[in-house]
Amino acid sequence: MLVLRFRGALLGALVGDCLGAVFESREAVAARSVLSFVRGLEKRDWRKSALMYTDDTAMARSLVQSLLEKPPFDEKDLAQRFTTEYFNDPDRGYGLGVVHVFEKLQSGEYCNVFTPAKEQFNGKGSYGNGAAMRVVGVPLAFPCVQDVIKYAKISGELTHASSLGYNGAILLALAVHYALQGNLSRESFLGHLLSNMQEVEADEKSRSDAVGLELGEFPYCNKLKKVKEFLDKGNVSCKDIIDELGNGVSALDSVPTAIYSFLRCLDPVDDVPKELNSLQRTVIFCILLGGDTDTIATMAGAIAGAYHGEDQIPEIWRKNSEGYKDAENWGKQLWELYNSRLPE
Ligand code: F2R
Ligand code: MG
Ligand code: MG
Ligand code: MG
């Protein structure tokens, strides 16, 4: 397993967040304005002011540090890190609901660190994409697919008690896991994801949460089937992607979109200049969809970085992104941890 892929995953996630954040919540993003912004990075004085990362990276950083310092997994440590990070630096564009989890954890009134998340949204739990946007460290720390599923779920449940929230984290973690293996066809990549998610979504809570939200059973599997249909079709419009896959803050309306964007951008796409590489194309493609651009770009950037490796991240993108040196260092440390856990 190449260290380039581990650093690529963390750096891909970082540049996706930093570049995507500039356009977050805009309904329509013109190709002209994204391309002019990207070209302008060459002239920015990154030493004076880098592009700031948002909650996506702030939480991903806490998770990576916890995985490295408290192996194999320590949910209390992770809850503490999320909370401390939020109160030290609250203006990173956090979701409106999730801050109540941090307030409750900080209050000291909860001995079970999972309880505040269960109380969100009148006991239904959050289905936001916050558990997925930060999960990249999990597949970089654990080589075994069952561990990836287990720890993506537990790390998600600290803030997202709805299975729609933590299953999104599982799906994104699996996508990074399979991307790390490199050289998979689109068909086998999607085939692995679908087969794992069929098992994940068969559990009682996943079924009842999905039905309770009137989504029908196996919502992620259904979206993955739509991803396959769109890839088979070829040139699907932004409007159809947004209408059918989504570009919003719920995990179901963003994780499959990130996976689709990565797979589609393995080949050139209209609106993105041919001289840009696949990872650059992926990040720009996600931004062009509008909506939750930082989060869709960070998730797709993580997958693309794991697949293509850090060489596809232009120096100027990297240097313009706040905290890029940490991503480089932690990528190497996670690569060592992952290798130490490979079966003999
Ligand atoms: N919050 C944002 N962007 C808004 C604008 C930010 C702006 N730049 C600024 O600084 O002001 N981005 C970040 O939030 C998303 C991740 O959110 P997370 O962590 O999942 O939070 P939360 O609050 O749990 O869920 C997000 C929203 O989803 C809706 N929702 C979730 N579960 C629900 C339920 N059971 N019932 C009804 N609604 C539910 C709510 O509207 C939540 O607020 C990322 O985009 C990140 O970048
Ligand atoms: Mg954000
Ligand atoms: Mg504030
Ligand atoms: Mg976002």
Q: What is the pLDDT of residues 161-181, one digit of tens each?
A: 999 999 999 999 999 999 999
295 marked as part of a ligand binding site: yes
Residue 54 labeled ligand binder:
yes
| Domain presence at residue 279 | yes
> Does 57 belong to an annotated binding site?
no
Q: Which residue's alpha carbon is at the smallest distance from atom 33 of ligand 1?
A: 126
Residue 28, pLDDT above cutoff 90: no
- Report pTM: 0.98
Kindly give the distance from the C-alpha atom of residue 343 to the centroid of ligand 2, in angstroms, as a whole number. 36
Alpha carbons 96 and 115: distance in angstroms, whole number: 18
Q: Tell me the per-residue pLDDT of 30-53, one tens digit each, with 9 for 90 and over.
A: 999 999 999 999 988 888 889 999
Residue 202 lies in a domain: yes
Q: Find, among 161, 176, 260, 249, the residue nearest to 212 by Cα.
A: 161
Helix (H, G, I), strand (E, B) or coil at 128: strand
Bridge partners of 51? 321
Residue 238 falls within a domain, yes or no?
yes
Helix axes 163-180, 255-264, angle to 10 degrees: 20
Residue 50 lies inside a defined structural domain of this protein: no
pLDDT of residue 267: 96
**Cα separation, 116 vs 160, whole angstroms:** 10
Mean pLDDT over the full length of the chain: 97
Pocket, ligand 1, Cβ cutoff 6 A:
24-25, 54-56, 93, 95-98, 121, 124, 126-130, 133, 162, 249-250, 292, 294-295
Q: Which residues lie across from 321 on neighbouring strands?
A: 51
> Any known ligand binding at 91?
no
> What is the arithmetic mean of pLDDT over 116-132?
98
Q: Which residues contact 324 (CB under 8 A, 6 or more apart)?
A: 11, 14, 50, 318
Closest residue by CA, ligand 1 atom 8:
93
Q: Measuring CA to CA, how many Å separate 182 from each of 55, 67, 98, 276?
A: 29, 23, 34, 20
Structurally, the chain folds into a number of domains equal to 1
Q: Give Cα 112 to chain centroid, integer Å.
A: 26
Q: What was the pLDDT predicted at 288?
A: 97
Whether residue 307 contacts residue 297, with contact meaning beta carbons closer than 8 Å, is answered with no
| Residue 45 confidence (pLDDT) | 86
Range of the domain at 302: 3-41+129-340
CATH of the domain at 268: 1.10.4080.10
Is residue 244 a part of any domain in this protein? yes
Tell me the best of 249, 289, 294, 296 to mutate to test the pocket of ligand 1, counting ligand atoms within 8 Å of each CB and taking the most. 249
Q: What is the DSSP secondary-structure string of 67-108?
A: HHHS-S--HHHHHHHHHHHHHHS-TTT--TTHHHHHHHHHHT
What is the CA(258)–ligand 1 centre distance, in A? 17
**Domain assignment of residue 102, yes or no:** no
Q: What is the pLDDT of residues 77-91, one digit of tens each?
A: 999 999 999 999 999
Whether residue 142 is contained in a domain is answered as yes
Query: Which ligand is nearest to the Cα of residue 98, counting in written order?
Result: 1
For residue 257, is it within any domain?
Answer: yes
